[in-house]
Structure 1
Amino acid sequence: MPPKKPTLALPATILLLFTVAGVTPKSTIEPCSNNDSCNALLGYTLYTDLKVSELAALFQIDPILLLAANSIDVSYPDVESHILPSQLFLKIPITCSCVDGIRKSGATRYKTRPSDTLSNIADAVYGGLVSADQIKEANSIADPSVLDVGQSLVVPLPCTCFNGTDNLLPAVYMSYVVRAVDTLAGIAARYKTTTTDLMGVNALGNAAIDDGDILAIPLSACASNFPTYASDYALSVPNGGYAITADHCVQCSCTPGSRLYCQPASLSVSCSSMQCKSSNLMLGNVTVQQSSAGCNVTSCGYGGFVNGTIITTLSSSLQPRCPGPQQVPPLIAPPTVVSPDMAFAPTPSPSQLGGAPIGGLPGSVVPSTGSSIVFPPSANGPSGSSSGACALVSPLSSFSLAMVLVSFIKVVLPFL
């Protein structure tokens, strides 16, 4: 047997650096004790070119709901077969349930392919939203090195509800995987919130975040007041996006002033009547009539989907001034290429953080970044979310630690 090579005894400082650099990513955990669910979002970056239908199948969601959440025009010809480019950042709408006392999405399943590993599935395919250990535990896998081709795996994706509110205002929460270029201040600026709010929601002791951490980001929303017996009860739509409901017949958006505005969807489907009773107004129509006392406003609104019927409500009010046209988020064509503004990192550039205006509508289809560098997801990247509670992590980045380590070794090695 060949003699063992001598072992280099590293100083305690170096061991500490290795320990800090390998800190397990944080993840926001919301305990729960009931069967209630809510609408939630996942911030996701495509790991390869995918058709809309393929991406929807990856998360077991309706492709129309996927497109609507990102303000992509669902009436685009053959939109479900459109190929979305790799590295495109999208919001994935999911149902957040209570599973084993923790909020998570338990409806996603993945069918394994040749050469798949749990790490590859977690880090590359699902972009670090889940860890290999979490998939292993959810599927009671004894030997993770042995995966059968075609095996169906439960993928426990992170999500939060927090009663659908943030500081007592309606909100939908998005799970976002932190990238190395992100800062908490930048994420807060992009999503129209504050670092204090993000620290409170995610139980952070300070503003330090690390590559691979999973943050719950509250997005301001418009909440419905549909009756409990409506199939779309508790519908909440994030600002800047859309929701499709009533069997693809109704399209709702969040307009300025946090008002939910619903109108017929731009799809060729068979729908029940959308005309308000005792009126010639259709869903979404508004009439105004100026008078000496103010402006008489009559509108035909949406009241929920009940037993296959679209409920419409006719309302009249006297307002000081006549309202202008509804300001709904602009619809866009499905993206074909990814520009720097469509990369996964939402952190604005330093100049934007310094007070310059940030372009785009709140919650637009893809968060912008001031960096022109695009980092592809790595199969050997961060392990995803941790199943434990949030922990305080050193504010030093992994990059900085690596530089310190290299410099130290260059100095020390000649004397060993």
Structure 2
Amino acid sequence: MPNQKPIFQNLFFLLLSLSIFTNVAHVSSKSTIEPCSNSDSCNAVLGYTLYTDLKVSEVASLFQVDPIAILTSNAIDISYPDVENHILPSQLFLKIPITCSCVDGIRKSVSTKYKTRPSDTLSTIADSIYSGLVSADQIREANSISDPSVLDVGQSLVVPLPCTCFNGTDNSLPATYLSYVVKPVDTLAGIAARYLTTITDLMDVNAMGSTAIKDGDILAVPLPACASNFPRYASDFGLIVPNGSYAITASHCVQCSCGPGNLNLYCMPASLAVSCSSMQCRNSNLMLGNVTFQQSSAGCNVTACHYGGYVNGTIVTSLSTSLQPRCPGAQQFPPLIAPPNSVTRDSMFAPSPSPQSNGAGTPTPKSSGVPTTTTGSLPGLGLPPANSPIASASSDASSLVNSLATFPSAFVLFIFVKLMMSMSL
């Protein structure tokens, strides 16, 4: 009888190699992969569905973010009493603002830590508590867990979360990116319509070969946004606010909004301001957000006090004057909503406010502490489009992961049968 040992060895190594490839595919990200080669970070957004009733502060603790930042990102009125302890209903969809970093050459957020509880498993943490934004294998790998069936109560786990930056632009316009977990009822056309983008744009951003999506996929969805031009040494450098929402900055002293009628960032004092540096523009009596204008035969002379970033505990302001063809109207604000107590079908899927809205009838935020008679305009950043070479690199990486993840198990069986047949010859 011929020596069958080499055949069995070859079979063993073949199956081992395929097993390794399969495991790599399992722990790879199920979201868009954006390669990176520096330590720069950006503002990004997670689409999160509450797994149970939670206080605003409890949601914030899950992601280690400012609870007020969660409220303003969702245009929820922060002037309500004790709003941080308001109980949000289960299945409510929220946009969670996060910092997207560059880790091991890939964009991701790793600032979230979770303390395990007695009933936790990696699967319940990933699928339920973090609503499918991460997989159990990704948590296991990030924390070097050898036996996932054994979790110590109170153990602190790093929860790697998906995010993308793409230079803060989409088709050369300012944008921030939402990591969206696909629901069973979703279609790519429906997601594109909901977030005011196109099917083509979503396919380009996510390096998709077809429009097919499935439950649990994570898509990077570009949201039109208002970009700041603060100096690099400002602590809020790179602030970008999605259209139809707000952001809180400068130690809760300044509130900035975007839209609905344009993509010009508008900042003003926040109602939460308690102990803040001066918000008055030098050499004028105008406060942050104030605008004056005077009609003349040549046009309208407009003077405005703008926010220029938070530097070493100081609120930087700048005074601008311009001659415009006509005097601007009143500042339009994104509509504010009361803290939610219930969930409707529409709110479960978080429609995005329309940038094309004329803003008619939208109320002035209750946090307003100054007259708001016109827009405060800060130019956006001129950056490369999202489908630049970095997005192409993302396409290659995504294609590799997808090909590994779909490696047919039938092929393994075919090779096994062929080897067994050759042994019998």
TM-score (normalizing by structure 1): 0.78
Does residue 389 of the first structure (1) align with residue 389 of the second (2)? no
Tell me the residue number matched to 2:171: 167
Question: Matched residues in 2 for 1:229 and 1:363: separation?
Answer: 34
Question: Matched residues in 2 for 1:168 and 1:275: separation?
Answer: 34
Question: Matched residues in 1 for 2:110 and 2:333: separation?
Answer: 32
**Conservation of the 8 A alpha-carbon contact between 1:294 and 1:319:** yes
Letter in 2 for 1:301: H
Tell me the residue number matched to 1:284: 289
Q: Which residue, out of 235, 238, 248, partners 1:234?
A: 238
Q: Which residue, out of 200, 205, 209, partners 1:205?
A: 209
Question: Matched residues in 2 for 1:361 and 1:204: separation?
Answer: 25
**Conservation of the 8 A alpha-carbon contact between 1:179 and 1:345:** no
Cα displacement (A) at 1:65: 0.8
Q: Which residue, out of 217, 221, 237, partners 1:217?
A: 221
Secondary structure (helix, strand or coil) at the match of 2:398 reads coil
**Conservation of the 8 A alpha-carbon contact between 1:25 and 1:214:** no
Query: CA 1:228 to 1:118, structure 2 compared with 1: closer, same or farther past 3 Å?
Result: same
Letter in 2 for 1:389: S
Does residue 65 of the first structure (1) align with residue 69 of the second (2)? yes
Letter in 2 for 1:82: H
Query: CA 1:244 to 1:25, structure 2 compared with 1: closer, same or farther past 3 Å?
Result: closer
Tell me the residue number matched to 1:75: 79
CA offsets 1:272-329 (integer angstroms, 9 cap, x no match): 1111111111110111111111111111111111111111111111101111011111
Tell me the residue number matched to 2:374: none
Tell me the residue number matched to 1:413: none
Tell me the residue number matched to 1:260: 265
Alignment of 1:32-181 (within 5 A): 32-181=36-185
Question: Matched residues in 2 for 1:109 and 1:259: separation?
Answer: 35
Question: Matched residues in 1 for 2:217 and 2:163: separation?
Answer: 13
Question: Matched residues in 2 for 1:362 and 1:211: separation?
Answer: 28
CA offsets 1:322-381 (integer angstroms, 9 cap, x no match): 1101111122211111112211375xxxxxxxxxxxx954599xxxxxxxxxxxxxxxxx
Tell me the residue number matched to 2:420: none
Letter in 2 for 1:328: F
Question: Matched residues in 2 for 1:340 and 1:249: separation?
Answer: 35
CA offsets 1:375-397 (integer angstroms, 9 cap, x no match): xxxxxxxxxxxxx724669xxxx
**Conservation of the 8 A alpha-carbon contact between 1:240 and 1:363:** no
Tell me the residue number matched to 1:27: 31
Does residue 195 of the first structure (1) align with residue 199 of the second (2)? yes
Question: Matched residues in 2 for 1:122 and 1:228: separation?
Answer: 35
Question: Matched residues in 2 for 1:281 and 1:270: separation?
Answer: 19
Letter in 1 for 2:335: P
Tell me the residue number matched to 1:337: 342
**Conservation of the 8 A alpha-carbon contact between 2:139 and 2:157:** yes
Tell me the residue number matched to 2:278: 273
**Conservation of the 8 A alpha-carbon contact between 1:52 and 1:82:** yes
Letter in 2 for 1:196: T
Unaligned ranges ≥5, structure 1 = 1-22, 347-358, 365-387, 394-416
Letter in 1 for 2:293: V
**Conservation of the 8 A alpha-carbon contact between 1:111 and 1:150:** yes
TM-score (normalizing by structure 2): 0.76
**Conservation of the 8 A alpha-carbon contact between 1:219 and 1:363:** no
**Conservation of the 8 A alpha-carbon contact between 1:122 and 1:132:** yes
Secondary structure (helix, strand or coil) at the match of 1:203 reads coil
Tell me the residue number matched to 1:350: none
CA offsets 1:212-265 (integer angstroms, 9 cap, x no match): 000000101111111111111111111011111111100011133311100001
Q: Which residue, out of 325, 328, 331, partners 1:323?
A: 328
Tell me the residue number matched to 1:376: none
Question: Matched residues in 1 for 2:168 and 2:350: separation?
Answer: 25
- RMSD over aligned CA atoms reads 2.0
**Conservation of the 8 A alpha-carbon contact between 1:262 and 1:284:** yes
Cα displacement (A) at 1:114: 1.1
Identity of aligned residues (%): 77
**Conservation of the 8 A alpha-carbon contact between 1:188 and 1:194:** yes
CA offsets 1:125-168 (integer angstroms, 9 cap, x no match): 00000000000000000000111111111000000001111111
Q: Which residue, out of 277, 297, 305, partners 1:300?
A: 305
CA offsets 1:158-193 (integer angstroms, 9 cap, x no match): 000011111111110010000111111111111111
CA offsets 1:60-82 (integer angstroms, 9 cap, x no match): 00111111111111121001111
**Conservation of the 8 A alpha-carbon contact between 1:239 and 1:363:** no
Cα displacement (A) at 1:99: 1.0
Query: CA 1:254 to 1:360, structure 2 compared with 1: closer, same or farther past 3 Å?
Result: closer
**Conservation of the 8 A alpha-carbon contact between 1:226 and 1:234:** yes
Tell me the residue number matched to 2:250: 246
